[in-house]
Structure 1
Amino acid sequence: MYQVLLYYCYTPLDNPEQFRDEHHRFCLELDLRGRIIVADEGLNGTVSGTAASCARYMAAVKADPRFAALEFKVDEVPTHTFQKLHVRVKPEIVHSSLRHVRPHEKTGQHLSPDEFKALKDRDDVVVVDVRSDYEYNLGRFKNAVTLDMENFRDFPERVEQLKQFKDKKILTYCTGGVKCEKASAFLLEQGFENVYQLHGGIIKYGIEAGGEDFDGQCYVFDNRVTVDVNRVNPTVISRCQHCQEPSNRLVNCANPHCNAHLPLCQACGEQLQGACSAACAAHPDKRTYDGTGAYPKLSNHYNPAQGLASYGSGKC
């Protein structure tokens, strides 16, 4: 049996590069695969591995006092959900253009899944999705406000749209919680007074509250691409880009110059050979479609024991 671990923790790290190398070696020892981001503001990752390896990893991370507040979201899977391991140092653990925000010092009030469920439909509450458009188009909470964002770094520019709700309670949510920490902190900075966040995000809500009233599927950043969340009143809300039939099957357009991330049903995928349109299907650089619509990038083979002169060369 394998598991997927989703986690983050905002906490100061004095030497992210040294931590990255030590952490990378430990993950290799455990044969964990996935994506881990290290920054001077903390740790953010999604990894897969055997249940035994994941147990060792969680115990080791939690034993570090800097990560005492970290919580793991754990899902059972039949095999690895990643092909390789990347452990990278970046300026932020989630790209937000809000580097000055320090969630470990001040952020919105955390709500457990049951508390979020009890509040979300009240008249004095507005539920806000702080994820990107391709994510919320696949699945979102009923009546949630979406912000037409291609990327989370657009969030500061979209806050103006929320000022009409300043007299209400703002309940933010995202996949696992890491974006909400900064989004809710920024809302407080902008003068919003009653700001909350779904602790553990959509994934924790599905595990602990059955996912009720989450329409569609949840986008995840591993080979599964999407996961079911709602075990109470599930539905499909996304539609095939080509035929408009309900479909939660997400692909990248086979034309690398387009590379749009969009729903494409199985039949249209075969018809267009993984492209989003006839024009992209006819493009001379179109990638070979294998039925998945996924085109993993080549690993840069970073080795923490030897270093890598080309690290950050764009091949990872």
Structure 2
Amino acid sequence: MAKYQTLLYYCYSTIADAEQFAADHLKFCKSLGLTGRIIVAEEGLNGTVSGTPEACKTYMDTVHADERFAHTEFKIDDVDEPSFVKMHVRYKEEIVHSGLRNPNLINPQKQTGKHLEPAEFLAMKDLDDVVVLDVRSNYEHSLGKFKNAVTLDIENFRDFPAKINELAQFKDKKILTYCTGGIKCEKASALLLHEGFENVYQLHGGIIKYGKEVGGEDFEGKCYVFDNRLAVDVNSVNPVVLSKCYNCGKPTEKMINCANPECNEHFTQCDKCGTQLEGCCSTTCQSHPRKRVYDGTGYYVKVPQPINNDKKKKLQPAE
């Protein structure tokens, strides 16, 4: 049995008491010894958690026992160590930031593209009347994407709605959307339908499920993930290295964050350049006084800032 597991999941389901739920859920996760990051909103849950197999099973069983989340699908990875250092559960307006907050227009609980299981997606993706659309951000699809997929120049998913006009040329095609785990496609496909696209589909379970069920065929490169692994293998059928070192241009699949915390850019960098630049994207960042120590991973845990007691005293009301 694996020493640890990492669970990736989301669930669109109405949570009337979302802020209180987030506070209670944090206590529950900590009681199990889990680490991870969960976003809670009135529209549902979006999370990645990591812990022992026993703790993960208890977590999944408890989530499924709540009728609001009974249909939640968990993607499970066996890992050698927890994929996070701390446990965070935060309340936000959306479980994936899209700017599409009008449930009367875009509501994944009411309308989305047709869900395709990985085998169905594999069978359809190369047909003449099909366009495969990556709805992820630049730093994600630069590391890995499906062969011949259409990608968009977006820094964050909230930029996706502004790119709809660029996709108008494909309105007579079947649009197959995909993302890491499926959550972004729920809103992306719903928006495409709202904008008049008639044949819209989405890869159920995303890239991660596709890799597990059909071997990741024709997914080129690695898949970016939002934990300290940063990137995971997907394709065991016909893998290729897609990305190149940001600094020297040589092929590499290693994704890191710039060691300069004021930059913190996501980029691919080979080990040689990583050593020379100490995990920075440039010599300018390398000389920054706040540069973090590069340990070869390019992943940095957020360090709480020390309390400014003088400022705290000024903010306290007079007795």
1:82 is aligned with what amino acid?
F
Report the equivalent of 2:312: none
Equivalent positions of 1:1-316 (< 5 A) are: 1-100=3-102, 101-298=106-303
DSSP-derived class of the 2:5 partner: strand
Report the equivalent of 1:308: none
> d(CA) in 2 for partners of 1:143 and 1:93?
29
> d(CA) in 1 for partners of 2:263 and 2:87?
26
DSSP-derived class of the 1:44 partner: strand
CA contact (8 A) 1:37 1:87 kept: yes
Shift of 1:25: 1.5
CA contact (8 A) 1:84 1:299 kept: no
DSSP-derived class of the 1:149 partner: coil
> d(CA) in 2 for partners of 1:47 and 1:112?
24
DSSP-derived class of the 1:56 partner: helix
> d(CA) in 2 for partners of 1:212 and 1:203?
12
> d(CA) in 2 for partners of 1:26 and 1:165?
46
> d(CA) in 1 for partners of 2:290 and 2:228?
24
DSSP-derived class of the 2:217 partner: coil
Q: Deviations over 1:128-156 (max 9, x none)?
A: 00000000000000000000110000000
Shift of 1:184: 0.2
| Long gaps (5+) in structure 1 | 301-316
Q: CA RMSD in A?
A: 1.1
Number of paired residues? 300
Shift of 1:278: 2.1
Shift of 1:253: 1.5
Report the equivalent of 1:310: none
| Long gaps (5+) in structure 2 | 306-319
Name segments (4+ residues, structure 1) moved above 3 Å: none
DSSP-derived class of the 1:58 partner: helix
> d(CA) in 1 for partners of 2:303 and 2:138?
26
Please, which moves more after superposition, 133-142 or 281-290?
281-290
| Percent of pairs with identical residues | 64
> d(CA) in 1 for partners of 2:298 and 2:70?
39
Q: Deviations over 1:8-40 (max 9, x none)?
A: 010111000121122112111111110000000
